[in-house]
Amino acid sequence: METLIFRSNSQEKLEALKAVAKALKISFETNTKPYDPEFVAMIKKGKQDLKEGKGIAMTLEELEGLCK
């Protein structure tokens, strides 16, 4: 058995692929995993903080120093 994964921003194209699979009697699954709401909130807060000037600037060397 082989698995193919299709990704598209176009719902129309995905529906066409589903129709082809059905016509060929190929089983398929759809799986939509939304982002974790806490993660989304954290990213939005970070973007808002940057807009409000609450961020700090770091050089690549400073950042790499934090990772050691």
Task: List pLDDT tens digits, range 9-60.
Answer: 899 999 999 999 999 999 988 887 788 999 999 999 999 998 999 988 889 9
Are residues 28 and 18 in contact, defined by beta-carbon separation less than 8 angstroms?
yes
* 7: region left, alpha or beta (phi > 0 left; psi from -120 to 50 alpha): beta
Look up tokens 């995905």; give the residue.
Answer: 14
Report if pTM > 0.85.
no
Count of residues in the chain = 68
pLDDT at 1 over 90: no
